[in-house]
Amino acid sequence: MAFTTKQMSLIVAALGALSFIFGVIAENKKPASGTPITGKGVVICKYPSDPTVVLGYLSVAFLLASTVAGYLSLFYPYRGKSVPQAALFQSTSFLVFFNIALGTAGLALAMLLWPTITEQLHLIRNVHRNLETDCPTAKTGLLGGGAFVSLDSTLFWLVSLMLADNAREDYLDEVEKDGKGDHGRVITADYDGEGPLKHSA
């Protein structure tokens, strides 16, 4: 199935929006702390049932999917015409936004994974020998911040796709012009000034 630039941009945007939505919901659903239950020399932390970990991993999954789709969309052979990557990277604007998109995607991944894994570890390791523990949860704000950075990454991928499309059109126009120049050469015969040269018998 052949994709168009518009279809690829919609795919990238949809995946990025889902990552953002799941990240924000995960932040809102995260409990502030657990309830400590004192036992014999230990404290057992009881946490309310919440979907924070699942939502966090879903946000990460859609961020990765959006990043992969965004990267592939830049170099996809639209209308069956492939363009060398070097031709795209000749554009300074494209190079800048491409690197920003990659950087923000990496930052968003770190900001989403860190609290998600931390929260999962708190739920698994809920027995503490420190009797003064307050049953903490993952740091507040990281999931929400990661969700917004994930959305920013998606927007940068879309800008990069727009710039790549412009660079692609410029490259194909140049190739077409060069092709017409090569095939459009007029082959001329030798003239002696008054007419074609005549070979003597």
pLDDT one-digit tens code per residue, 88-142 = 888 899 999 999 999 999 999 999 999 999 999 988 888 888 777 888 888 889 9
Domains contained in the chain, number: 1
With a cut of 80, say whether residue 167 has pLDDT above it.
Answer: yes
- 198 inside domain: no
In sign, the C-alpha dihedral spanning 156, 158, 160, 163 is negative
Strands across the sheet containing 127-128: 35-38, 43-46, 127-128
Res. 191 pLDDT band, cuts 50 70 90: very low
Res. 39 pLDDT band, cuts 50 70 90: confident
- 183 inside domain: no
Burial class, 57, CB count within 10 angstroms (exposed 0-12 / middle 13-18 / buried 19+): middle
Burial class, 151, CB count within 10 angstroms (exposed 0-12 / middle 13-18 / buried 19+): buried
pLDDT of residue 44: 87
Burial class, 196, CB count within 10 angstroms (exposed 0-12 / middle 13-18 / buried 19+): exposed
- 76 inside domain: yes
pLDDT of residue 180: 58
| Span 73-100, average pLDDT | 88
With a cut of 80, say whether residue 186 has pLDDT above it.
Answer: no
- 192 inside domain: no
pLDDT of residue 190: 43
pLDDT of residue 135: 83
Angle between helices 142-183 and 5-29 (to 10 degrees): 170
- 185 inside domain: no
- 143 inside domain: yes
- 197 inside domain: no
| Mode of pairing for the β-strands spanning 43-46 and 35-38 | antiparallel
pLDDT tens digits, residue range 143-163?
A: 999 999 999 999 999 999 999
pLDDT of residue 7: 92
- What is the domain extent for residue 162? 5-178
- 189 inside domain: no
Cα torsion at 130, 135, 141, 142 (round to 10°)? 60
